[in-house]
Amino acid sequence: MKFRSLAIAAGLVVAASTAAWAQTAAFFPPLNDGQSVVLPSTHFKFQDSGAKGLTPNKGIQYSNVWGDVTKSAHGAFFQFDPGFTSYVHTHTYDYYAVVIKGTLQNYLPGQKPEDLGPGSYWYQRGKEKHTTACVSKTPCEIYIVQGEKFDAQNFPNGG
């Protein structure tokens, strides 16, 4: 009897993990006809995102790695000018970020900012108000992955 229960439980785990894998594979389908890709940093050309914040003459630039930031699911590098601080803002969709260079802060209204250096990670829930700041004297860079296009809705008065 114990063996049968264990076998059923193991079967359910395999079925659930296979379903989760299939869903992930569909969400992030192989690019480049499934071929592996190697791109040196010199490949990436950054463009102005048009994002402006609390700090005049400071902004954010981005470079697509796969997909397209402006249209669909993507992975992209984002560079922040030193001293850039966003307005309180939201994004329609969740995203995942890893800090590559500099020191950033990403925090909710009323939350104490925490310095996030290279190797740090954050998950940002869609539709959740937050502020993002590059607190370094040097440019900051993050890599994000997002299942939909990137957007931002600003609340200049804190909303």
Residue 72: CATH number of its domain: 2.60.120.10
In tens, the pLDDT along 11-34 reads: 444 444 444 444 444 555 667 788
Answer whether residue 129 is part of any domain: yes
Answer whether residue 112 is part of any domain: yes
Percent with pLDDT over 90 in the chain:
73
pLDDT at 27: 56
> Does residue 65 carry a pLDDT above 70?
yes
Answer whether residue 114 is part of any domain: yes
Answer whether residue 145 is part of any domain: yes
Answer whether residue 108 is part of any domain: yes
The 3-state secondary structure of the chain, one letter per residue: CHHHHHHHHHHHHHHHHHHHHHHHHHHCCCCHHHCCCCCCHHHCCCEEEEEECCCCCCEEEEEEEEECCCCCCEEEEEEECCCCECCEEECCCCEEEEEEECCEEEECCCCCCCCECCCCEEEECCCCCEEEEECCCCCEEEEEEECCCCCCEEECCCC
pLDDT at 15: 43
Answer whether residue 54 is part of any domain: yes
Give the predicted TM-score (pTM) of the model.
Answer: 0.81
**What is the extent of the structural domain holding 50?**
41-155
Distance of CA 4 to the CA centre of its chain: 43
Answer whether residue 36 is part of any domain: no
How many domains does one find in the chain? Answer: 1
Answer whether residue 21 is part of any domain: no
- 20-29, 82-91, 92-101: lowest mean pLDDT where? 20-29
